[in-house]
Structures are given as structure tokens and as C-alpha cells.
Amino acid sequence: MTAATAALACAGLSRHFGALRAVDRVELSLPPGARHALIGPNGAGKSTLFRLLTGGLRPTAGQIWLDGADITPTSEARRARLGIGQTFQHASLFLSMTAGENVALAAELRLGRPWWPAPAARRAVRERTGELLAQVGLADRAGRKAAALSHGERRQLEVAVALATEPRVLLLDEPAAGLSPAESARLAALIQRLPAHVTLLFVEHDLDLVFRLATRVTVMHLGAVLLSGTPEEVRLSPAVQAAYLGTGRRQDLFLPPDPAARDAEAADATSAD
Amino acid sequence: MPAWLDTHLVSLLNGLAIGCLLFILAIGLSLVFGMMDVLNLAHGVLFLTGAYLAWSIAGADPSWAGFLAAIAAAAAVGALAGAILSLGTERLARRSHLDQALLTLGAALIAADALSAAFGDDVHAVNPPPGLDGSILLFGKAYPVYRLSLIAVGLALAGAVHWIVERTSLGALVRATVADREMVSAIGVDERVVKVVVFAIGSTLAAVAGVLGAPVYGAGPGLDAAVLILALVVVVIGGLGSVRGALVGALIIGQIETLGRALFADLASFVLFGALALVLIVKPKGLFADSGRSRS
Amino acid sequence: MNRPGWGALPWRRWGLLAALALALAAAPLVLAPYAVTTLTRILVFALLAVSLDLLVGYTGLPSLGHGAYFGVGAYAAGWVAIHATASAPVTLAVAAAAGGLVAVFAGLVAVRARGVYFLMLTLAIAEIVQQLAESWHDVTGGSNGLYGIPAATLGGNALVGDQPVYWWVLAVFAAGILVLRAIAASPLGDTLRGICDNEARMRALGYRVYLYKLAAFVIAGSIAGLAGGLLAAQQRLVTPGDLGLGTSIPALLAVIIGGEGSLWGPCFGAAVVIVIRDYLGSTLGGHGSLLLGVVFVAVVYLLPGGLARAIRGRT
């Protein structure tokens, strides 16, 4: 599958902070409708990669394609308009507004005219808001202020808000973080009900959720892709287990000052396994 | 000497002098904002207080004793005012930075009115202390000695601040707080103490700048607003929390205000705004602020 | 921040508004001329304050330089009245357009900044506009100001005397408030509130945040210009002081004291500011500013959300 047929793809994607290689030449290719999980131990670079894909951070090198079009230079807002939706790790809602208003604000962009009160558009936005809230299980919470919702309900609202922009690609940043097992299960069911044409990439620590929802998993370690494969392959891989148990070297995160030394290291690493 | 330089030497030197004065004023504003995100809108009124102190203590024709006494008084008043402002805004620290700025605005209004009640609405002129009140010949032009001494004091202070911030542990603390306030409190430094100290020092510098500036600007209503605007532009251009930025910004603005007014007269305001706009478009955080980190 | 619900107002509210409107309309018939001119000034200032609230309370852009657009509108209206026509609607239209135009240029730069940076920029811009007003003698009359502005005419009749001027100002004020209320209740208002609440999320949703902020800035500037046009019609004199901090700061004070984000709070805030500064001030030997400063500090400390939130009693 080439970049041209993938819904979301990146190649050689890197982000350095000085000498720190937070993301190192990552390559990903998500077919349309994918259910793809991104996992890895803390500090692996998942959040940084996530932000590179959504446009919140500029890459040091590499390219990103959306449906074959190069979106590397485009801004976060423009990517959102092109069809990339996201939820935030720390639920990012409009706390002074009700749940319904939160979703409406997102839906307004697709269905309404945010600068002109057209009654027909308002009606369409209201209907869509109702549908989405029902879809995520918050139909009875429409009038409640977002600040008054429980943590789990806010997560559900996050998803509704993201869906309201009708994304082609949806990126979820640790959607189950801080959820109880019951809430987690509800969220998993919600994600399973998402439209099949939406390409899904989610970063998660909860491995049960990952193995339940994902058809492909990418494991990151020290900024680079360690392994990309089916959940089974990942679960059984000794390299992945070693990474999670912390046998990686911290100095691998940093660029060695001498290019010859870097090449020698790379030669060592590939011959070690 | 080229004709252009000949005509404008005086303005150039004036620009340098004003720039140095602005640096003394702006460094306090920059550090307080860079360290605790509090915009001290009372900074201008502190300058005016210093100017009035110069006039009332040292008088229109000061002796050295009087002038130095005025400086000492200004330092004391400035430090006290800074401490009060710091404690006052501390109570609002959990609310927005805007609320803290608004508080300093309220304090500025009260202080400005109190000053005008105490000292009247006239503009009072102050002469430089003896020995500094003459002019010397510089390249065939008479130039006020006082302004040259301002340049000397300003540069000396810049050197001192640079040394303190770069070479001492207090300076390291300041730089660390500008870069990441929460980390500093995580390593056990009581950030409230740091805040009070920085606020006090910054306010002291502002008040002392007012005394030093009295022979140039005099003392009168409206000076506080004019000087606050200039200080703000300096701080925005230079970058918050950056000593080097404050110096460069102050020198630039000093030149625009003097040489700019000599060359462009009334359009100098546009040049000021244009410079501000240009810097903000190219480097939104100021010339020397480095995405949240600052080096002096 | 205060966020009034803009759903259908209950009967009691409508009743209250109607009573207030009636009282305002009938005021000149019962009040002394001095009180009428004061009330006129309050209405003009209130329109300025509410336009500022669209920026401060709704969009979260704290401006300390809003007087600039007010003053530009006043000068434009005065200039047109002297040199072209004194027709009231024309001068007001020019005033609003002038305020809006200057706001476009100022906003293009200012709106790129956020929070306290934005505050600093608006302050600097307003100061520069004031300096321009003081030095451009030919057009603005320099520090003497623009004087001898003829009375505005409405349908051929000159608006002379405190009563006709008052009613004209009241009518325009009401229209201005209705326009601002309509904007706040519209999708644009929701967008601005969203930007105020969580700008990063708005960007992540795809909103062109910069353009919306600029739009809010220009709308606020136009209405401020409109209020300035009213000032020119009432005072028939415009000075650089009408442009500068002497107007910008009280306007912000009015918004904060009245309650930012409520749109009606700043009207009361405006009344409070003018009464304290100009009336209580004269009984205190001219130190209205000091009392105003004290009241302001008290409000910032004790009444977050201003009078509006205190009256509504909600947190």
C-alpha cells in the first residue's frame, strides 16, 4: 500500500528538540477505515508523534499525507477543515457551555455558517447535535454545563465534539485515561460503533482496550517505530516486551555528536537482535 | 565627520541617553512579567513618584547630598511599593493574569491621583546636580554632561545586571523562574519570596529611574502614562524576562523617540508602532525570548 | 466569566426592560437640564463600554485602548459636520465606518497577540493614535481640538437643546445595544465565546480563530466609533483627550465594574464610573479618580464578575 492509497501516512517523520530525538524517522500507513493503535512505554514519543500528525507541532524532517495529499506544511486548523479530527489527552472542552453547545460549536463549522444566523442551518445543527449526543450516550446531558459532567462523561463528550466535525481521520489521544473499568467498557463500545469509513488512530496505555479495538498496532520506543503488526504479533514479540520492561538505553534517545559513531551504533543495534 | 552625523550627533547621543534610562526602567517590568506573568501597570507611576521625590527632596537646584538623598528615598519607596504590589497581586494569583494586571491598574490610578493631589498639576523642572549640569564640547558641539553620565550609569547598570543574572546563583534562579516557574517551586524555592524580591527590586529601579530622569523629563502629570507605554514597547520588542532584550529594545526605542522625532517629527509615532508591529509579526515573543526560555 | 443565557427572556425580564425603556424615554420631561445632559453622557459612554465588552467579556481580548476608535469616530463625525454635512445619520455612519476602518488596521497587528500582550499592544496603539490627533493640526485642530461643530440635523431640523439631543442619543444607543445583543446571540457570538473559553480547541476544530478575533475587534471598533459620533453631536467639540487613556481606562473600568460578558452590566458600570468620577469627584475636591481607583480595586478583589454577577447571585 503506497502513500497514495492510504488515508493517513507519514514517512521519515522526525522531531528533534536540540539533541533529543523525540520522534525518529517514523513511518506509518493507515488504510481507510483502519483501526490502528499506537502504543509504547512512557517517553516513547507517542504524544509528540500525535501532535505532529494533528499539526500542533512542526516536524524537523519528514512528510505527512492525507488521502495522498501532502499536508506537512498545513496548519492545525486547516488540517481539521481537511478532515482530521482529534480528541485531547486532557479533555479539552468549553467548560462554560452546556454539552449541547459544545457539540453545536463543532457541528456549526460543517453544517452552519458561524458568522450568520440562518434558521435552516441552526435547525440542522440542533438535529445533528442531538444525534451525536445520543450516539455517545449523553442524550440526557445535553443541557448540563460541561464543567458539571463527570470525567467519563467529559470523555464521551470529547468524542462527540470530534465527530461533529465529520472527520475522515480521527486521532484519539489516550481516550480511556482516568476512566473506571465500566466507563472504559462504555467508551470501547462507543469506539466500536464509530462509522466504518472513519480511519481511526488512537494512542493508548490500556492494553486491553488496544487488543480489543485495534486491527493493527504500532509500538514505539525511544522515538522510533519498534514494530508494526497485528495485535497478536505485538503481544508475542520479545522486543516489545523488552521495551516495556525497560531494557532500552537512555543514551539512544540522544544524537551522538560524531556521525561515524552514530553509524557504528546503528550497525551494532541491527546486528544485536 | 560626515555631514549627516554632524547634524544628528546630538540626537543620536540623546537617543542613547534616553535608551539607557529606559533600560533602567524597563528591566524591572520585564523581569516581573517574565517571572510571574504579572503585568505591572503601576510601573509608570513609580517612575513619576521618583521624579516627584527628586523635585521635593532635592529641589529645583539640587546639591549632591539632596540628589543622593532623593535616590535613596526613591529606592526605599520603590521597594516598599513593590512589596505591597506583590503581596496584593499574590491574593489574585489563582485568578487570571488579567485580574492581577487590573489590580495594578487600580493601584496606578489611586497613586497617580494622590501624587497630583500632593504635588499639583504643574510640570516641575529639576536641574542636574552640580558638576553634571554643564556641557562639554563633543566633536565641536556642546552636549549636556548629565546625559553623558546617564549613558554611563545605564551601561554600568546593564553590566551589573548582566553579571548578576549570568554569574550568580540568584541570577540562575531568576533565569530558571522565567523558563519554568513551577519547576523552581518543585525544587524547594519559595516562589512567593522570589516574587516579592523581584517585584521590590524592579519597582526600586523604576523609582530610581524617575529620579535620574528628572533632570531630563521633569516631574508632572501624564509622565507616568507616557513612560509606561515606552517601557511596555521596550519589553514587548525585547522579549519578556530577557535582560539583553531589554537593553536592545531600550536602545532601539530610545533612538526612535529622539532621532526618529528629529528626522520624522510627528510621524515618529508611526515608526514606533511600525517597529513594534514588525517585531511582533516576525518574532511574536520578542527579539530575544526563545520560545519560553530566555538568556540575558 | 459571566455568560448570560440568550434564550427567550422570561416575562419579568421583558417587563423590567419595558419599564426601564419607558423611564429613560420620559426622563427629560421630569429631570433638570443638567441631569439630562449627564444622562446623555452616560448613554454615550455606556455604548462605548458595551462595545468594549464584546471584546473583553465575550472574546476574551482585554483592550486598554478602545478609546482610540471612539475618538476617531468623534473626530470623523465632527469633521464631516463642519466640512460636508451636519445630517445626523450621515455623520454617525461616517463615525462608525471610521472607527471600524482604524480598528481593521490596528486589529491586524493586535489580534495576533493574546492576553496581556494584547493589552500592551492596544495600549500602545491608542497612545499613538492620540499623538497623531495632537499633531495633525490641519485636520484635527491639534491640541485645541475640533471645535465649532454644528448641531446635527435630523430631517432638516437641527438637534439643539438638551432634550432633542438626549432622545437622539437614546435612540442610537438602543439601536447599538440591540445590534450587539443580536451578535452575541448569533452563531458568531457562540464562536467568540468558544474562542474565549478554549482557543486551542477551536483551532483544533478548524476555526480560523484569527479572522473571528479580527471580526470582533472591528465590530467593537465600529460601535465605539458610532458612540464617538454621538459625542460629537452632543458636545460639539472633540479633543485629543477623548481619544486617549482618559477614555480607554474608564471604559475598561466600566466593563469590569459592571461585569464583563453580560452586555447590560457595563451600562451600569458606565453610570457608576461617570457618577463617581464627575460628581462624587467634585464633592471630594476633584479626586474622583482616586475614589474610582478604590472602587475598582474593591471590585477586582471582592466582586469577580462585577455587579452583574453579584446581582444575579450565581457563581
The pLDDT assigned to B176 comes to: 78
The pLDDT assigned to A246 comes to: 61
Counting one residue from B and one from C, how many pairs have CB atoms under 8 Å apart? 102
Q: Given the DSSP bridges, would you call strands A199-203 and A169-173 parallel, antiparallel or unpaired?
A: parallel
Q: Is the pLDDT of residue B296 over 50?
A: no
Q: In a mutagenesis test of the B interface, which of C52, C64, C114, C116 is the best target, namely the one with the most B β-carbons within 10 Å?
A: C116
B chain contacts of residue C131, beta-carbon cutoff 8 Å: 266, 269
The whole-angstrom separation of Cα A24 and Cα B201 is: 46
Q: Which residue, among B124, B121, B119, B146, has the nearest Cα to B20 in the 3D structure?
A: B146
The pLDDT assigned to C7 comes to: 40
Looking at per-residue pLDDT, the higher value among A27 and C288 belongs to A27
Q: Is the pLDDT of residue C136 over 90?
A: no
For B184, residues 6+ apart whose C-beta sits below 8 A from its C-beta are B173, B176, B177, B191, B194
The pTM of the full predicted model, rounded to 2 decimals, is: 0.87
**DSSP-based three-state secondary structure for B80:** helix
Segment A241-254 mean pLDDT:
65
Residues 108-137 of C with CB under 8 A from B: 109, 112-113, 115-117, 119-121, 123-125, 127-128, 131-132, 135-136
Q: What percent of chain B has pLDDT over 70?
A: 95
Query: How confident is the model over B120-143, as pLDDT tens digits?
Result: 888 888 888 877 777 887 777 778
Q: Are C179 and C186 a contacting pair, CB within 8 Å?
A: no
The whole-angstrom separation of Cα B291 and Cα C99 is: 35
Q: What percent of chain A has pLDDT over 90?
A: 40
The pLDDT assigned to A263 comes to: 64
Find cell 490610578 and name the residue: B109
The whole-angstrom separation of Cα B33 and Cα A197 is: 49
Query: How confident is the model over B213-231, as pLDDT tens digits?
Result: 988 888 888 899 889 988 9
Q: Do C187 and A108 touch (CB under 8 A)?
A: yes
Q: Is the pLDDT of residue C232 over 80?
A: yes
The answer to whether C58 contacts chain A (CB < 8 Å) is no
The pLDDT assigned to A2 comes to: 55
pLDDT band at B294 (very low <50, low <70, confident <90, very high): very low
Nearest-Å Rg of the Cα atoms of chain A is 20
Q: Is the pLDDT of residue C209 over 90?
A: yes
pLDDT band at C2 (very low <50, low <70, confident <90, very high): very low
Q: Which residues of B248-287 are buried (b: 16+ CB within 10 A; e: fewer)?
A: bbbbbbbbbbbbbbbeeeeebbebbbebbbebbeeeebbb
CA distances from C256 to A127, A186, B252, C297 (A): 37, 44, 35, 10
Residues paired with A65 in a beta bridge: A9, A70
C151: left (phi over 0), alpha (psi -120 to 50) or beta: beta
Dihedral in degrees, nearest 10, Cα atoms C215, C217, C223, C227: -170
Query: How confident is the model over A101-117, as pLDDT tens digits?
Result: 999 999 988 887 666 67
Segment A78-99 mean pLDDT:
90
The identity of residue A245, as a single letter, is: L
The whole-angstrom separation of Cα A20 and Cα A18 is: 6
Domain boundaries, chain A: 8-33+44-210
The pLDDT assigned to B208 comes to: 92
The pLDDT assigned to A65 comes to: 93
Q: Is the pLDDT of residue A271 over 50?
A: no
User: What are the grid coordinates assigned to C173, written together?
Assistant: 444607543
The whole-angstrom separation of Cα C312 and Cα C315 is: 9
Q: Is the pLDDT of residue B56 over 80?
A: yes
Q: Is the pLDDT of residue A247 over 70?
A: no
Tell me whether chains A and B touch (3+ CB pairs under 8 A): no
Find cell 450587539 and name the residue: C180
Q: Is the pLDDT of residue C4 over 70?
A: no
CB half-sphere exposure, A4, CA atoms < 13 A:
0
Q: Which residue, among A257, B109, B143, B177, has the nearest Cα to C300 in the 3D structure?
A: B109
The identity of residue A176, as a single letter, is: A
Q: Which CATH architecture has domain A8-33+44-210?
A: 3-Layer(aba) Sandwich (3.40)
Q: What percent of chain C has pLDDT over 70?
A: 95
pLDDT band at C277 (very low <50, low <70, confident <90, very high): confident
The top-scoring range by mean pLDDT among A249-263, C37-51, C142-156 is C37-51
pLDDT band at A214 (very low <50, low <70, confident <90, very high): very high
B chain contacts of residue C113, beta-carbon cutoff 8 Å: 280, 284
The answer to whether B87 contacts chain C (CB < 8 Å) is no
Q: Given the DSSP bridges, would you call strands A35-39 and A216-221 parallel, antiparallel or unpaired?
A: parallel
What's the start-to-end Cα distance of chain A, in Å? 27
Segment C45-67 mean pLDDT:
94
The pLDDT assigned to B125 comes to: 85
Q: Which residue, among C41, C52, C137, has the nearest Cα to C103 in the 3D structure?
A: C52
Helical (H) or strand (E) element with C253: helix C245-258
- Min Cα distance B256 → chain C (Å) is 13
Q: In a mutagenesis test of the C interface, which of A75, A115, A116, A128 is the best target, namely the one with the most C β-carbons within 10 Å?
A: A115
The top-scoring range by mean pLDDT among A153-167, A229-243, B279-293, C282-296 is A153-167
What are the start-end ranges of the H helices in C141-244?
Answer: 162-185, 187-197, 199-205, 209-235
The answer to whether B93 contacts chain C (CB < 8 Å) is no
Query: How confident is the model over C172-199, as pLDDT tens digits?
Result: 999 999 999 989 888 899 999 999 999 9
The top-scoring range by mean pLDDT among C83-87, C132-136, C278-282 is C83-87
Q: Given the DSSP bridges, would you call strands A84-87 and A169-173 parallel, antiparallel or unpaired?
A: parallel
Segment A164-186 mean pLDDT:
89
Q: Are A179 and A144 a contacting pair, CB within 8 Å?
A: no
Find cell 444566523 and name the residue: A117
Nearest CA in chain C to B38: C116
The pLDDT assigned to A208 comes to: 83
Nearest CA in chain C to B100: C300
C chain contacts of residue A109, beta-carbon cutoff 8 Å: 205-207
Query: How confident is the model over B147-177, as pLDDT tens digits?
Result: 888 888 888 888 888 888 778 877 787 777 7
The pLDDT assigned to A250 comes to: 59
The pLDDT assigned to A258 comes to: 60
CA distances from C243 to C134, C231, C250 (A): 10, 12, 12
The pLDDT assigned to A252 comes to: 62
SS3 content of chain B, % helix, strand, coil (to 5): 75, 5, 20
The pLDDT assigned to A272 comes to: 43
Segment A50-76 mean pLDDT:
92
The answer to whether C205 contacts chain A (CB < 8 Å) is yes
B chain contacts of residue C256, beta-carbon cutoff 8 Å: 102
Segment C94-113 mean pLDDT:
93
CATH of domain B3-294: 1.10.3470
Segment C272-295 mean pLDDT:
84
Q: Are A187 and A201 a contacting pair, CB within 8 Å?
A: no
Please spell the DSSP secondary structure of A141-153, one letter per residue.
GTTSBGGGS-HHH
Q: What is the DSSP letter of A72?
A: T
- The mean-pLDDT minimum among A115-119, A198-202, A231-235 falls in A115-119
Residues 230-259 of C with CB under 8 A from B: 245, 249, 252, 256
User: What are the grid coordinates assigned to C131, written together?
Assistant: 499623538
